[in-house]
A and B are shown apart, each in its own frame.
Chain A
Amino acid sequence: MGDPALIFENVVKAFRMRNRSDALRDAIPRTFLKLLGRGGPKPKRFTALNEVSFTAERGEVLGVVGANGAGKSTSLRLAASVYPPDSGAVTVHGRVSALIELSAGFHPDLSGRENIYLAGALQGLGRREIASVFDEIAAFADIGEYLESPVRTYSSGMAVRLGFAVAAHVPAEVMLVDEVLAVGDMEFRAKCLRKMAGRREEGAAVLFVSHNLTIIEQFCDRVIFLHHGKIRADGPARETLAVYRKHVAEDARVSSIRESASPRLRRGTGAVRLEEVRLVGDGEGLARTGGELTLSARWRAEQQVARPVFGMQIHSVEGVLCARISSEGRKGAPERIEGEGKMVFQIPELPLLPGHYEVTVSVWEENGLVPFDLHQCLYPLEVTGDPLPGTDGLVNLEVSFQTSP
């Protein structure tokens, strides 16, 4: 084993909050105030990582989970030396490769071949090093004869695949993987994950950030859970994820009780309002594949409303509509409502596979054209479960299988 390949010691990283301070207009008076000994208002700082310490051993996949803004990406960038820590130390033994979306460095007018060399050089490879893995990169990206065409003629999927392919072939002792699963098709994701596992076999340390807890559980030896820039849990994958799931469930309850939602996501005439929306399966905002899920809300109608339509939608985090259901035509659809009451959608067996989803709840006028109150994707839903190996996608199908001689 030897030394850990990646060591974070009491790492602190804070960022200046930006409000137009990048204009000289503000900097000049500020400088003068400083010279006069009056500091003026100090720019606000946001602490992304606060005294974070962990290590990643050689031959280990270390998973990182946490909500958006918890410090996951900051950790990866510190490990990649994109910027230095404010205090503490980040030590890397060996070379770092970042399996992040590299197509940013691509130029549309250059061919795939030229862009491979450019992206490789950006990761610190020399010409010979790139040439020695060039064929593997081209095969991994699987772009066929497009290799010699300008990248502007590529589909977005092809460009992304090419970017990942380059990063995946940088020989390195520490590999950083940021949410590969958010891009590319199923087959390509599987390829990336296999590559990651291969790297672990070769003795590299892998730092793996993902929102997909199933994949994290499957691939990671150890997982750390970041919360508001601090490590909340660090240990074997199963143990950390248990802490994380519990936390997510509690968090979802807190957020769903809060009535004021961001106006961009909540709209409607207000003739009927939905309040106290609750999404309950195993817990608040938490459900199991094949388990029960209940969406309930209180409605309030100031005046009488005829034949309102209640609706519910489930989107995957990638924005795919998984299901839309409404009260229309169902037993229990109200003729008219007034005052206060409660609505419930009950799904006895949730057919969704594990992952992150977002739930929309709404109430519409009878033609379904004008929303009275629409809570677009306001309710996060985390689905867990143990689907059979080889199952993937969004929907869990009831399947029988047989084979005959």
Chain B
Amino acid sequence: MFAAFGKHRYLLGLLVIREVRIRYARAALGIAWALFMPLVMMLVFTVLNFGRLIEDESEYKKLPYSVFAYCGLLFWTHFATSLTQGTPSLVISGNLLKKCAFPREVIPLAKMFSGLLDLGIGAVFLVILMWITNVPLRISAVAVPFILVLQIVFTAGLVLLLSAANLFFRDVNYLVQVGVVLGMFATSVIYPVMTEHDTANLILGLNPMSAFLDAYREALLLGRFPGPGLWVGALGSVAALLLGVFAFRRMSPRFAEEV
């Protein structure tokens, strides 16, 4: 997919920059807003003491809950924002689709990549938060970029699939809005997902986003390299990307007439 961009990498780059520029262009606080969403959520969940949802025997219990929650919210926010903004992006750019024959992937992917700046700024804050709360940053943190690549691949696959589907059925956009909210509670974002039913646990355990978030926490907060759980995430990433690219390729020639 990325090889096919070739000369259009420049277009993708420009679109990413455009997204970043316009997102905060006319906001007085500018880029500071990037910190806002995960930070506020973290404060809310900390104040409401969601930390009690973590079982006593869990090794996360040793961590300050604010760091636990913020680490999950930070990476989850990128995923959620990519989906909610990426899904309607092709419909919103409909006018452009009808006029130019550029590769359509760049529109939803630019939405996703532009969120990485927010993520980067948020990550700096995470390190500060860890320093304040005395959580040491260890060598295992070098695994984070690899986990992030897997998460990006997973997100890209979903965004491609959903943005294309949304052109044909506008309902997809609403489903995604609901799905992202539900997804947050089915993923280990603000608590480790655990129910009293083994089957349910097994299904929830197949959630690639949970695998990524657990891996980030292991690498960043617990100071050890991610365990085999990450393989679930890696498989999910590859499957999502294949599905997304395949569906997108199949549907994209018809985009201009479905807008």
Contacts and interface: CB of A to CB of B under 8 A. Distances in A.
A101 B96 CA distance: 10
B62 interface: no
A122 B18 contact: no
Contact of B95 (A23, A104, A109): A104
A105 B100 contact: yes
Interface residues of A, number: 32
A80 interface: yes
A82 B100 contact: yes
B168 interface: yes
Contacts of A123: 100, 102
Nearest to A23: B171
Contact of A122 (B25, B102, B168, B255): B102
Nearest to B171: A24
Interface residues of B, number: 29
A44 to B, nearest CB: 14
A23 B102 contact: no
Nearest to B100: A122
A109 B11 contact: no
A83 B257 CA distance: 7
A80 B102 CA distance: 10
A98 B26 CA distance: 32
B99 A82 contact: yes
B18 A15 contact: no
A227 B156 CA distance: 44
A166 B116 CA distance: 30
Interface in B126-152: none
A22 B256 contact: no
Interface string A228-259: 00000000000000000000000000000000
Interface in A112-158: 114, 117-118, 121-124, 126-127
Nearest to B9: A126
B52 interface: no
Contacts of A205: none
A98 B98 CA distance: 12
Contact of A110 (B7, B18, B169, B171): B18
A118 B96 contact: no
A15 B253 CA distance: 13
20 contacts: A22-B168, A22-B169, A22-B258, A23-B171, A77-B98, A77-B256, A82-B100, A82-B101, A83-B256, A84-B253, A96-B101, A109-B26, A110-B18, A110-B22, A117-B14, A118-B14, A121-B8, A121-B102, A124-B7, A124-B101
Interface of A: 15-16, 22-25, 27, 77, 80-84, 96, 98, 100-102, 104-105, 107, 109-110, 114, 117-118, 121-124, 126-127
Given A22-B170, A77-B256, A83-B254, 6 more contacts: A15-B257, A23-B169, A83-B257, A105-B100, A122-B102, A123-B100
